[in-house]
Structure 1
Amino acid sequence: MVMVFYGNNGKSNPVSMESRVEHQTKNQITYDIHLPSDLGMLYKVRLGLQSLENSISQLSLRHFKIQNISTLDTFSLTINKILPLSLNGDRWIEFPIQWPLKEALSVVTYHLTVFSRNILSERNSVRMTACIYGTHGDTGDRSLLQSLQNVQHGEENESFLVVDAVELGELDKIVLLISSKTDCKLHIKKLHVKEAAKEHPTYVFEVNEQFSVDANKPNIEREIPRSFAIRGDKQNNDIDNNLNKEGSQARNATEYTIKVYTGDKRGAGTDANVHIILYGTEDKSEVFHLSQSLERQNPFERGKVDTFKIKTKKLGSLRSIEIGHDGKGFASGWFLEKVQITDAASNSLYCFNCNR
């Protein structure tokens, strides 16, 4: 069994319990754990099996208690669960820590939908995990394909999975780890994540990649940043432009000229809604919906260059961009050659090559 501890200032490395037994009876084991002091106040624990190949086939967890030996503050929780939670399924349990006079986070159920052409046909040979990151930490690596026996199938090759975790706050990225017993190709279009108990928001992570998995090579790791969030009619979606800043925000705004180069090959254009985020050394922009091309009414046509102007807060020197689309429209595929951005304040030109 291993544990991962989360504090206000970060998280610990996985802590193996095998060599830390201080006292053991028939139904209770006490561990002595020394955590780095820079973790700050602990707010979450994840515990479970390091791997399903562990010599322990099942782990029955009844009760958990943790005590700070310096302050004697104590937290206890009744669990009554057996790991793994299902056959070849989730082998982790997360729960928040509620210290005296401190408010704790909640445990929520997340629905993760994978849009893929062939994920089900490859599930017996491919191993894939996803780690969802938010403002309150991460879920750790959770198995995707091993749980596909319980998925629901939609009309667009959707695979529906469930992840129970301490609430993550605003989601910002997903890290995928992919390996396989045999050489294969796995195509993933996008990922959607939402809380099961809420209709909104739905966080969209666009992937649009075919992974060539080699059985003789290490895991493929991909960090997928959030593309945008769908927040419903009564709230502002991330993709809504918000250029009407007032007061000091307006005075500190910087104008950027964005030139988008669509490739000159068959099927390169798109009718989908395209959005972009700029990342600088000082800050990042909001999400901008690129719809008003200065050259033409229908942007992103094959072999064309479209120019857009946006205003946002000062970002410093640009270091990266995030650009994608929502997959809607009759012809939603898109081959993006490159993006050029000019900072009007400094007259600096930045070029980001894509060629995909």
Structure 2
Amino acid sequence: MEPIGGKKGDLYTFKCGKWLDTNEGDGEVIREIPSTGPGVKRPQPLVRYSVSVVTGDKRGAGTDANVSCCLYGRQGDTGNRPLTASKNNRNKFERGQSDEFTIEAVDLKSVKKVKIGHDDSGVGDGWFLKEVIVRDEATGESTTFPCDRWLATDEDDGAIVRELTSEGSPQLLNTTSYHVAVKTGDIRGAGTDADVYIQIYGSDGDTGRLKLTRGENIRNKFERGRTDKFKLEATDIGRLERIYIGHSDSGIGAGWFLDGIEIDVPSSGMHYTFKANRWLASDEGDGKTEIELYPTQTRQQDKLLPYEITVATGDTLNAGTDAQVVLQLYGEDGKSEVMKLRNKTDNFERKAIDKFKIEAPDIGPITKIRIGHDGRGVGSGWFLDSVKIQRFVHKTSKRKKRRREPQPKIRMFLRKKNRILMFINWKKTKEHKRGLNEDLEEPSSSSSSSESSSDSDSNIEHEEEIHADEDVTDDGMKKAEVSNTQPDVKQVASDGSEDQQYKVHVFTGDVFRGGTDANVFITIFGENGDTGERKLLKSETNTDKFERGKEDIFKLDAVDLGKLFKVHIRHDNALIQPAWFLDRVEIEDTDTGSIYVFHCERWLAKNKEDGKIAR
């Protein structure tokens, strides 16, 4: 090979001397050949990499699809290589099996990442990949790239291609999430059943061609006038510059009228709009079925941090649940929204490890979590073993300035005692919504109720609050005792406050039919946060709670709330006589001896006064 216009002697030779044929030699059809010639002082060496692909040992783990992978190192990559001929197995990628392949390439100078996937072809194409092990045959250096996830359109997050990093790093945090919304035009025949793909290009590279297989909101994709949403994972490619989108032109009526595409990148806070307003069809317009688009509008939004959530279900009888699990994070700088933990896999089964990637604002170092479920389904009870949370603190974080280099923040929450979740049963009602802001404030407090808002509209029916050193209370509320496994973190909240026990005295008014048989719930607010909504289960003073003129006492454990300034109390309007006249609530801080009095002297009843059942 001689460059046109090059200097005399700029001649490059690429010597191969091997077959590129699946039926000849080593069966490889792709070769990397280093350059030689007068101008090449040191030709790059060819290195043989042994690649062991381990399929997981679980039902349906194997695949008959065509698998390919790409190795990335400090000096380039191998390009996408089909894994065709296993050295040790005729039938590749079967359950619990390890298949060995050889990839020959110019020296990568240490393998840092592996990109592996399949083409989603054949019957039973879904694949559970345990790990990939890459060994340099010359030096013997070996690196393990764990996966332990599905590559399947109907499992996990629906991805059939994954990027794997070396053992010990948080796998889900090494990719960037791209939220892609694809809008089909609202004209006759606009929809398509063809396979649609997209490739996103940025200032630092591209995502590769990604198939839009399964939408997050609609099963039947790309129909007239609809918007389909997809969550794609790929490397961080920097600021988006253009996209390439098209389809396979297969099936009856494959033509597609594309209105436009919007892409959100939560980690950078950028929103991109790509307008198309044209046909992608072989029998319409210019006959093209793929097109290159550039941003027509960009917008900066709030940035979100990615969090990797690892949930371990216990190994005990009936430990699993089919209920919807929700999670809320609390940190020194605030709290997240209540987030649903779900994907396409059957999550939270006995002895299962489930991983999720969520995006939320930077709330600072995590002080506690609140996790629970909605109680739906048969046998919804769940035995939770542990929750692990990892996140990256980026350079833009104010806290990052005090650290030398970005490190994953790790918080490990473990159940110290084998205890089943104690259910806090409640259902959100219209009356509850109306009464959310009518809280009882302590007269002596000057704090505004706007500083802390009620979490009770989160629609959690079964809830467990988890934080450092919480034990089982005398009123039957089983709480998880949590120990942080990081050696530099003490078993206290990050502000130094330890667990606190509060005695809640509830006084029912001495008026005709003032008592209630409904279920009563309370949330206590202090200068350091709130308890979350708790059901008042077992009275220390009365078997029949909340009767006319009676005082009921309950014990409640929570992180030290500091000075208390309000409570939110309500009932669920259940049973025959739900109306309730509440005189007052007194809360005793058992550690300091302080008593806070919250006067009410009003009805919590649909058919009394203003009809509210929450104060």
The TM-score, its normalising length taken from structure 1, stands at: 0.51
Question: Structure 1 counterpart of 2:253, which letter?
Answer: D
Q: Which residue of structure 1 lines up, in the alignment, with residue 174 of structure 2?
A: 106
**In the alignment, structure 1 residue 21 sits paired with structure 2 residue 87:** yes
Give secondary structure in 2 for the equivalent of 1:182.
coil
Give secondary structure in 2 for the equivalent of 1:210.
strand
Please provide the CA RMSD for this pair. Answer: 4.2
Q: Which residue of structure 1 lines up, in the alignment, with residue 154 of structure 2?
A: 86
Per-residue deviation at 1:129? Answer: 0.7
Q: Which residue of structure 2 lines up, in the alignment, with residue 209 of structure 1?
A: 278
Q: 1:75 to 1:192 in 2, by over 3 A?
A: farther
Spell out, residue by residue over 1:322-345, the C-alpha distance to the aligned partner (whole angstroms, 9 max, x if none).
xxxxxxxxxxxxxxxxxxxxxxxx
Q: Which residue of structure 2 lines up, in the alignment, with residue 186 of structure 1?
A: 256
Per-residue deviation at 1:61? Answer: 0.8
Answer whether contact 2:177 2:267 (CA < 8 A) is retained: no
- Structure of higher CA gyration radius: 2
Aligned equivalents of 2:229, 2:268: Cα separation in 1: 15
Per-residue deviation at 1:128? Answer: 0.9
Per-residue deviation at 1:186? Answer: 2.0
Q: 1:20 to 1:174 in 2, by over 3 A?
A: farther
Structure 2: which 5+ runs fail to align? 1-66, 304-615
Residue 125 (structure 2) aligned to one of 48, 53, 57: 57
Per-residue deviation at 1:232? Answer: 4.2
Aligned equivalents of 1:202, 1:220: Cα separation in 2: 26
Residue 214 (structure 2) aligned to one of 147, 161, 167: 147
Per-residue deviation at 1:163? Answer: 0.7
Question: Structure 2 counterpart of 1:15, which letter?
Answer: R
Q: Which residue of structure 1 lines up, in the alignment, with residue 234 of structure 2?
A: 165
Aligned equivalents of 2:187, 2:79: Cα separation in 1: 31
Give secondary structure in 1 for the equivalent of 2:215.
helix
Per-residue deviation at 1:214? Answer: 4.5
Aligned equivalents of 1:38, 1:105: Cα separation in 2: 27
Give secondary structure in 1 for the equivalent of 2:102.
coil
Spell out, residue by residue over 1:161-201, the C-alpha distance to the aligned partner (whole angstroms, 9 max, x if none).
11122322222222212123123542223222222x44711
Aligned equivalents of 2:188, 2:159: Cα separation in 1: 21
Residue 165 (structure 2) aligned to one of 89, 94, 97: 97
Aligned equivalents of 1:232, 1:175: Cα separation in 2: 24
Structure having the larger proportion of residues in strand: 1
Give secondary structure in 2 for the equivalent of 1:150.
coil
Q: Which residue of structure 1 lines up, in the alignment, with residue 143 of structure 2?
A: 75
Answer whether contact 2:149 2:156 (CA < 8 A) is retained: no
Aligned equivalents of 2:113, 2:293: Cα separation in 1: 24
Per-residue deviation at 1:62? Answer: 1.2
Aligned equivalents of 1:223, 1:7: Cα separation in 2: 30
Give secondary structure in 1 for the equivalent of 2:195.
strand
Give secondary structure in 2 for the equivalent of 1:168.
coil
Question: Structure 1 counterpart of 2:263, which letter?
Answer: V
Spell out, residue by residue over 1:127-176, the C-alpha distance to the aligned partner (whole angstroms, 9 max, x if none).
211122234443332222x31363499xx843211112232222222221
Deviates more, 1:182-191 or 1:39-48: 39-48
Aligned equivalents of 2:95, 2:279: Cα separation in 1: 51
Question: Structure 1 counterpart of 2:197, which letter?
Answer: T
Answer whether contact 2:191 2:256 (CA < 8 A) is retained: no
Q: Which residue of structure 2 lines up, in the alignment, with residue 273 of structure 1?
A: none
Question: Structure 1 counterpart of 2:234, which letter?
Answer: A
Per-residue deviation at 1:84? Answer: 1.0
Answer whether contact 2:269 2:302 (CA < 8 A) is retained: no
Answer whether contact 1:2 1:47 (CA < 8 A) is retained: yes
Give secondary structure in 1 for the equivalent of 2:246.
strand
Q: 1:36 to 1:134 in 2, by over 3 A?
A: farther
Q: Which residue of structure 1 lines up, in the alignment, with residue 68 of structure 2?
A: 2
Spell out, residue by residue over 1:201-222, the C-alpha distance to the aligned partner (whole angstroms, 9 max, x if none).
113333232222459xx98232
Between the two structures, name the one with larger relative contact order (CA 8 Å, sep ≥ 6): 1
Spell out, residue by residue over 1:196-253, the C-alpha distance to the aligned partner (whole angstroms, 9 max, x if none).
x4471113333232222459xx98232223445322499xxxxxxxxxxxxxxxxxxx
Q: How many residues align?
A: 225
Per-residue deviation at 1:30? Answer: 4.1
Answer whether contact 2:201 2:243 (CA < 8 A) is retained: yes
Answer whether contact 2:131 2:144 (CA < 8 A) is retained: yes
Q: 1:169 to 1:45 in 2, by over 3 A?
A: farther
Q: 1:108 to 1:2 in 2, by over 3 A?
A: same
Aligned equivalents of 2:138, 2:297: Cα separation in 1: 44
Aligned equivalents of 2:209, 2:188: Cα separation in 1: 20
Aligned equivalents of 1:232, 1:9: Cα separation in 2: 35
Spell out, residue by residue over 1:80-113, the C-alpha distance to the aligned partner (whole angstroms, 9 max, x if none).
222314279845232243499xxx9822321001
Answer whether contact 1:44 1:166 (CA < 8 A) is retained: no
Give secondary structure in 2 for the equivalent of 1:21.
coil
Aligned equivalents of 2:71, 2:276: Cα separation in 1: 30
Q: Which residue of structure 1 lines up, in the alignment, with residue 585 of structure 2?
A: none
The TM-score, its normalising length taken from structure 2, stands at: 0.31
Structure 1: which 5+ runs fail to align? 235-356
Aligned equivalents of 1:41, 1:221: Cα separation in 2: 37
